[in-house]
Amino acid sequence: TNVYTMKWLPQNELLANPTIKLFITHGGINSIIESVYYAKPMIILPIAIDQHGNAAMAESKGYALVMSLSAFTSLGMVENVKSLLKNDSYKKAAEFYSLIMKDKLVKPEIRVSHLINHVIKYGDNHLKTSAYQLNWFQFFMFDIFLVFIL
């Protein structure tokens, strides 16, 4: 009775809700960042690409449990949910990293406003990387490869 299915819902608003105790995710970097920001421990079921690395990092930091899709069972999921809710170390780790994430001297909206005003005032030529001044041979490091081949 307390499980709802919907076609779409705003994940940030869901994670901000204080009644949410944990987050089950595929391990995409945005999901992990949002979950940590709101200090929600996670159960991660990585599927592909960067998700396995993200899951390993989250588990090593202590705020997530990782489950393999190939060895997934409903009993295993229930046990992991119980473990995450009973063991305070996951919540404490999520809270610790959330505090680090939120500990900024300047709020993002103020920083963005400052950077926009800076570009309006001075232009953006001084902010461009010197990689734009390289020719294609140097940009793709063919000169370096040539040295190694020789």
- The continuous run of DSSP H or E covering 6 comes out as none
Higher pLDDT, 135 or 47: 47
Question: What are the sequence ranges of the domains in the chain?
Answer: 11-102, 108-149
Whether 44 and 59 have beta carbons less than 8 Å apart is answered as yes
Which two three-digit tokens encode residue 121? 């005032």
Cβ-count burial 5-41 (b if 16+ within 10 Å, e if not): eeeeeeeeeebeeeeeebbbbebbeebbebbbbbbbb
Instruction: Name the packing angle between helices 29-37 and 51-61 (round to 10°).
Output: 30
Q: What is the pLDDT of residue 144?
A: 87
Whether 43 and 64 have beta carbons less than 8 Å apart is answered as yes
What mean pLDDT do residues 121-142 have?
A: 87
Residue 53 binned pLDDT confidence (cut-offs 50, 70, 90): very high
Instruction: Assess if CATH 3.40.50.2000 describes domain 11-102.
Output: yes
Counting residues of the chain whose pLDDT is more than 70, the rounded percentage is 100
Strand partners, 66: 44
Cβ-count burial 102-124 (b if 16+ within 10 Å, e if not): eeeeeeeeeeeeeeeeeeeeeee
* Listed residue (1, 78, 28) closest to 11, CA to CA: 28
CA distance linking residue 109 with residue 23, whole number of Å: 27
